[in-house]
Structure 1
Amino acid sequence: MMQLYGVCGWGFLILVTVLLRAEAVMNCAKFINHLMQNFPVDYPEDRYYLRCTDKRCLLHVFLEKDFFAAKRICTQLTAELWIPRPGERIGYDMWIGIVGVQVNKDDMDLAWGTADLELVNEENWAALEPNHHANATCAIAKVSEKGRWVTQNCKRQFFFTCSFDLDPKPKP
């Protein structure tokens, strides 16, 4: 948690968590205005960009982190790494919330899924992906592939986006 303090600041973390989990009655403009008034230093426009709809907020984080650091930051903000769907535009290569897990120890094939262990069998993979390299067990959305997903070494550093579900579905 101390490492995260250097990225956002405690006040920013607490404010984001409280405001996003509150009844979802505050619209995006009010959220951003409140955030910028109370934490102008902790919310620089060149590092964070917040975009909301009535169902979801996306916090774009323009700090290069490895997959695990990016995932940890989103989790601490009670969010998940965003998984852009086909047709959703991205402006930079970024981590997405998909990882590969080895199903059989004698086989190099990986099962790809979300942090909630939901299998991903999307058609949003780039050509010849997902790749079956032992060191490439994470995925990015790649601009040069028109946002399609590409496997990547989890230790590489990319920007990332945290997704806050403002209308969460109950988990079974």
Structure 2
Amino acid sequence: MKQICDVCAWGFLILVTFLLRGEAAMNCAKFINHLMQEFPVDYPEDRYYLRCTDKRCLLHVFLEKDFFSAKRICTQLTAELWIPRPGERIGYDMWIGIVGIQMNKDDMELAWGTANLEVLNEENWAALEPHHHANATCAIAKVSEKGRWVTQNCKRQFFFTCSFDLNPKPIN
């Protein structure tokens, strides 16, 4: 069965490379190959969906993981959890790269930022969000809220999307 899976995986990579063409496709194919080595699946075309432009790729991962596992997987791919912009359509509830940090131990108020601890440039919270609850310090984009953000317990499991630049900025 593993050999059949390996054949499917390579066939999938060749198809992705052919469809996307160019340097962008080669970079994206490397990311998917790495992901499939770490999380082998019988039908990779049903678990990973890749969309690339000249500058960025979105890798939709249809494996349910808790927030920290999803973040770790994206980080291993030199990516980050995707934060959809307001108005972008999503097809399923998914982790996004937003976390709440408790500012002081006596207050339930959370400061919300990216999973990389950067300030949010824009917000897209659903009505009555974000909740101020100690067990809900992560966020999902929720289909029933038209992609708006909803706080969630980080231990719950959802699909996720990794976003990565094809031409990352050099580190100084």
Distance 1:63 1:125, change over 3 A: same
1:162 counterpart SS class: strand
Matches of 1:27 and 1:47 in 2, distance apart? 18
- Are the aligned partners of 1:82 and 1:161 in contact in 2 as well (CA < 8 Å)? yes
Partner of 1:66: 66
CA RMSD, Structure 1 to Structure 2 (Å): 3.1
TM-score, scaled relative to structure 1: 0.75
Structure 1 residue 27 displacement after superposition: 3.8
Where structure 2 has 5 or more consecutive residues not aligned to the other structure, the ranges are 1-8
Where structure 1 has 5 or more consecutive residues not aligned to the other structure, the ranges are 1-10
Which structure features the higher share of helix residues? 2
Matches of 2:65 and 2:83 in 1, distance apart? 17
The correspondence for 2:24, drawn from 23, 26, 40, is 26
Partner of 2:145: 145
Percent same amino acid at aligned positions? 83
Structure 1 residue 43 displacement after superposition: 6.4
Structure 1 residue 114 displacement after superposition: 1.1
Partner of 1:76: 76
Query: Structure 1 residue runs of 4+, over 6 Å off?
Result: 39-43
1:131 counterpart SS class: coil
The one-character-per-residue Cα deviations of 1:24-45 (angstroms, maximum 9, x if unpaired) are: 82348x949x96xxx9977611
Aligned positions, number: 149
- Are the aligned partners of 1:112 and 1:121 in contact in 2 as well (CA < 8 Å)? no
Partner of 2:47: 47
TM-score, scaled relative to structure 2: 0.75
Partner of 1:88: 88
